[in-house]
Structure 1
Amino acid sequence: MTPPTTDTAFTGWLDRQYAIAARDLTLGVSATHLVKERPPFRQRIVPRPGSVVASAVMGAYDPDPDYFFHWFRDSALVMDALRILVAQGTRPAEDAGHIRDFIRFSLGLRGLTGADVLAKGDPRQGVDPDVVQHVRSETDLRGVAGDRVWGEVRVNPDGTLDTLNWSRPQHDGSALRALILQRCLDDGVLELDVRDEAAALLRIDLDFVLAHHAEPSFEIWEDSLGHDYYTRVVQCAALRRGAEWLEAQGDAEAAGRCRDASSALATALDGHWRPETRAYASLLPAASGTAGRDLDIAAILGVLHAGLPSGPHSVLDPKAQATLVALEDLFAGLFPINAGRPAPALGRYREDRYCGGGAWYIATLAAAEFHCRLAAALAGGAAFALTADNRGFVTRVLAAEPREEDVDSRRLAAAFRDRGDAFLATVQAFTPPDGALSEQIDRATGAQTSAKHLGWSYAGFITAVDARRRAAPV
């Protein structure tokens, strides 16, 4: 099979799809022209500037899900992709105003409390009887006070608390936002008058991670409570980078606390390794008798979103590489659409049945980005270690059992980049001509399913192709 890298039709599609993703990424950003009506709940939501709705396409589980919320995690990832587009000049410099508005919207959430919601009346009042069970209880709402707002998972895009039942708390949002803020400050995409506000929000996020990193929370998919690999690795990276930033600000005491917590998280992350499956377990149970989860694409997403430059829990980690191989094997056999496909479309985890439990664009794009980031690291001079853990990973990429002489950085970088292209070619196979990216791909038919125009899907495409461009041909 000719590697997609040399296929001009493929590279032409990549350029066109990148332009579409760069355009459609912001469909849900500052969508002040939209109005979301939830008649059974007597809600009317008008987004504020700086809010990011996960999907701007109205859904009410009819069958498309209702994603008209500002998720802390999704919004941070969309802003990270926008940062890349502005920094590289794909989008104009004035689009950094979206990041400025996002920072101000986020700062405006400080002080939100459940008590204030209740002071305006019972949120169940007037709600249709057949949906009242989906409204949060008074006890639940009263628990939202102080910094607990940052564990809320999501808020309404008008800047009010979400009064619907959901899986709370979730602790990845502040860590992700801290990482994105630090990248924005480093890239220089922020206007000077916003940098102080970004620094204030960054301190809030670092303080939240410091205060709550040892607590269990709901994992990235909002299904199960426990100690989540994804959450821990982005918290570890946020605190590690935060320590450097705080030290540069002259706050050695806070920097030391961040380093100590980051070290504790790194040790905890090592405990997710499962030698019997050669993979990082995604979720460790919060207590005896509660469920955990082994193979889950969330582990690979965590490695990518944390962005550690080297060492354990980076793309150079042989154990992370082994985890990706195990996930490829799982979904190659699980999804009928992968029959005969060189690079399988990936889903979340084996038991997933949400909206059919199909392949996810973000999962398949994560595999592409992982390989391209690894190629870029090797092209940049990083050393590659061949171990018993990652031998299967290298064998798959080289299509042969590796020998010591095969561990050549130039050869491996080219092979990893081509493997990344194979996953991007799989995404191409399931992308319609208009370039629209939904949340999922039906595991049997290949049709798009679940939320339409998912901001996270566009963000995943942008970061994957950006990684490919950084992995220059060698």
Structure 2
Amino acid sequence: MRLLSGRNRVCGAIAGSLFCASAVAQNCVNETITAAIPTDASIALQSYSYCGGNLSVVAYVKNVDYDKIVTLYWTNADGVSTPLNAFTLGFQSQANPDWSWELWGASGSLYPDGITSFVNITYQALDVGQTYVQQLGQKVIATGAAIPNSPQPPVYTAYATPKFFSDDITQWIAANNNSEAGISKTRMFNNIDIPGAAPGTVIAAQSYTAPDYAYHWVRDASLTMDVVNTMYSLTTNKARKQFYQNLLFQYAAAGAQEQNDPGLQTGLGEPKFNLDNSIFTGPWGRPQNDGPATRAITLMEFSYAYLASGGSKQTVREKLYDSNNYPKVAPMIRDLQFVATNWSSPSFDLWEEEPSDHFYTRMVQRRALVMGSQFASFMGDSALSKTLSDAAAALSATLSQFWDPLRQLILYEYGPVMRGKSSYKDIAVVLGVLHGYAGDGVYSYTNDQVLVSAYQIATSFLDVFPIATSATKDANGNPLGIAVGRYPEDVYDGVSTSLGNPWYLATSAMAELLYRASIEFATSTSITVTTTSLPFWKYFAADVNVSTTTYHIWDPQFYELLAALQGWGDAFLRRVKYHTPSNGHLTEEFNRVTGQPQGAADLTWSYAALLTASFARETARANLLYPTEIANL
């Protein structure tokens, strides 16, 4: 989750030559571009292999500083260079005995973009503020197996056909203190305002070494406090309500303190703070521009709930909204203005690994701007309302670039392949919809592109995690949903780099999306299956003879499709249940082979994700009192 170091590559340099294990069987040819370390440059492409549609490259990089970004750009099969047609290389080894030169490389599939020629390779030496470029204009020679003319996304056959809600999940998340929902609530609140921490802070996990998550992350805290606000808005217990309210006002004041910290390096894009709420100044992936957006969303939701509970508009203005006149306690205006000004700037993703234009970040920023425009108008601030509305419109116009019609996928980012993520699949897309949907039809839970992307992302882990296929049923024969991680190429194991694992919050997110889709479909009283969404339905409703048509509420298939969404939602939660220890504590990950918990202990976001999925499930079941019962515990 907090990974900054480099990752191993499929290909490596041996005695100055590029070796790819997967390339041997295909008779791949390695083309040498620069035979020896250059004497008149600081960057040079050493060699490449373009074999069967997979590109592997190695470059000489002069070791002038520590922080480097090395990127290779090319033209695609149409002879066009876009932000997608690039690799960001990673360190492989030293190139000479004194380490004055290094070998950097990358490897990945170019489906379906293709490649015709290399444009250039750039080297940004961040510590010394220098950029070096080697112009290439090099035609790329393809070797090995033939490249398909029209590569299609892989098609998976469902291993189960679950239907309807299941009693075992109903009991597991029941509204009592001994259920997993009750335990998750307790453990989540144990991570808010922990002893010795500043009021309003949220520790990311009860993990102080290997890994050290003893910090207040802006994003994690906002998502946690949004769950607190849900409980505040629905509880019928007076003491509970006052308790939640106090926490939320403390959280707002802590946010304002963070905004005014003199040590900010990237403005409001600072990702995390120490538990005394002072800025973390060490090296990190910054800026992360989603935090101000998610904090603003949470505080706007709280403002409405507070007013509905009898609170005064003036208190909202003084303690939550008006950063201009009450800068020490009210963070909302500054957060919204930051989003309006900075939404188009690249920033690090929610996994803190890659600077680019990210779907998740754009979605939560859009929701903040849409809500913010309405809220500013409500507060009588017409000028700010228009600023936010204009920014929302401009941002919305960019969202279409994330949809790739060839891949039939919402790309997690619109930019170069980084960290070997050539699949462009990331559960961040699903999280972006769950956290960023503004309720106005733009990338809703039932959007065709969202559904097919969720299908592709979830099924991609069938080929990655052994536990996803070795354990497909629980002890009672009930189906387990797919074990879902962050992205297929992940190497973060919860402590360092080796092999990535499924995440509790990612698997819960898939359950929540299916529950919310079932709610939205049921409300709309029809389900339209298109050529885009058909693969989703073919997998998650495999026993329904689904076709590209509209199923209305009077059609039997309509209810079968809803039942499939509900059944698979429970299957994904059952996967979480299956790997949850008997004490109910949730870590960050569970092992890809054994299924045993690992990574950060008591990850706050794991508990929050379990609760939001449970709320969505019980809403889909029409158990509308459930969130109130959890809030009253």
Structure-1-length-normalised TM-score: 0.84
Matched, 1:315 2:433: no
Partner Cα distance (2:525, 2:606) in 1: 29
After superposition, what is the alpha-carbon deviation per residue over 1:107-141, rounded to whole angstroms, capped at 9, x for unaligned?
12232123xxxxxxxxxxxxxxxxxxxxxxxxxxx
Aligned pair partner of 1:179 in 291, 297, 304:
297
Residues 426 and 394 (structure 1 numbering): CA distance in 2 closer, same or farther, change over 3 Å? same
**Which is further off, 73-82 or 181-190?**
181-190
Q: Indicate the residue corresponding to 1:241 in structure 2.
A: 371
Deviation for aligned residue 1:346 = 0.3
Aligned AA (2:436): A
After superposition, what is the alpha-carbon deviation per residue over 1:335-362, rounded to whole angstroms, capped at 9, x for unaligned?
1011152520100112111124100111
**Which is further off, 153-162 or 379-388?**
379-388
Aligned pair partner of 2:184 in 17, 21, 27:
21
Residues 449 and 22 (structure 1 numbering): CA distance in 2 closer, same or farther, change over 3 Å? same
Q: Indicate the residue corresponding to 1:331 in structure 2.
A: 461
Q: Which one has the bigger helix percentage?
A: 1
Deviation for aligned residue 1:391 = 0.8
Aligned pair partner of 2:492 in 347, 354, 371:
354
1:431 and 1:437 in contact (8 A); partners too:
yes
* Alpha-carbon RMSD: 2.5
2:163 and 2:564 in contact (8 A); partners too:
no
Percent identical among aligned pairs is 29
After superposition, what is the alpha-carbon deviation per residue over 1:252-308, rounded to whole angstroms, capped at 9, x for unaligned?
222222122112222211101111221111112279999887100001101000133
1:170 is paired with a residue whose SS is coil
Deviation for aligned residue 1:405 = 6.0
Aligned pair partner of 2:529 in 386, 403, 410:
386
Residues 407 and 202 (structure 1 numbering): CA distance in 2 closer, same or farther, change over 3 Å? same
Partner Cα distance (2:251, 2:575) in 1: 33
Aligned AA (2:392): S
Matched, 1:344 2:482: yes
Structure 2 unaligned runs (5+)?
1-159, 323-330, 473-479, 494-498, 624-633
1:108 is paired with a residue whose SS is helix
Aligned AA (1:49): P
1:225 and 1:286 in contact (8 A); partners too:
no
1:285 and 1:291 in contact (8 A); partners too:
no
Residues 263 and 469 (structure 1 numbering): CA distance in 2 closer, same or farther, change over 3 Å? same
Partner Cα distance (1:7, 1:281) in 2: 33
Aligned AA (1:329): T
Partner Cα distance (1:7, 1:386) in 2: 26
Could you list the structure 1 runs, at least 4 aligned residues long, displaced by more than 6 angstroms after superposition.
286-293
Deviation for aligned residue 1:27 = 1.6
Matched, 1:100 2:249: yes
After superposition, what is the alpha-carbon deviation per residue over 1:405-450, rounded to whole angstroms, capped at 9, x for unaligned?
6454544333322221111111111111111011011111101111
Residues 413 and 287 (structure 1 numbering): CA distance in 2 closer, same or farther, change over 3 Å? closer
Aligned pair partner of 1:53 in 183, 195, 203:
203
Aligned AA (1:185): S
Residues 360 and 234 (structure 1 numbering): CA distance in 2 closer, same or farther, change over 3 Å? same
Aligned pair partner of 1:373 in 506, 516, 532:
516
After TM superposition, the structure 1 = structure 2 runs for residues 54-203 of structure 1, keeping only pairs within 5 Å, are: 54-55=204-205, 57-61=206-210, 65-89=211-235, 92-93=240-241, 94-114=243-263, 144=264, 148-188=266-306, 192=312, 195-196=316-317, 197-200=319-322, 201-203=331-333
1:86 is paired with a residue whose SS is helix
Partner Cα distance (1:152, 1:216) in 2: 14
Residues 290 and 2 (structure 1 numbering): CA distance in 2 closer, same or farther, change over 3 Å? closer
Partner Cα distance (1:367, 1:388) in 2: 22
2:172 and 2:180 in contact (8 A); partners too:
yes
Q: Which one has the bigger strand percentage?
A: 2
Structure with the greater alpha carbon radius of gyration: 2
Structure 1 unaligned runs (5+)?
34-45, 115-143
1:384 is paired with a residue whose SS is strand
**Which is further off, 411-420 or 215-224?**
411-420
Structure-2-length-normalised TM-score: 0.64
1:214 is paired with a residue whose SS is coil
1:4 and 1:422 in contact (8 A); partners too:
no
After TM superposition, the structure 1 = structure 2 runs for residues 446-465 of structure 1, keeping only pairs within 5 Å, are: 446-465=595-614
**Which is further off, 455-464 or 391-400?**
391-400
Deviation for aligned residue 1:313 = 1.7
Aligned AA (1:283): E
1:310 and 1:316 in contact (8 A); partners too:
no
Deviation for aligned residue 1:165 = 1.0
Deviation for aligned residue 1:106 = 1.1
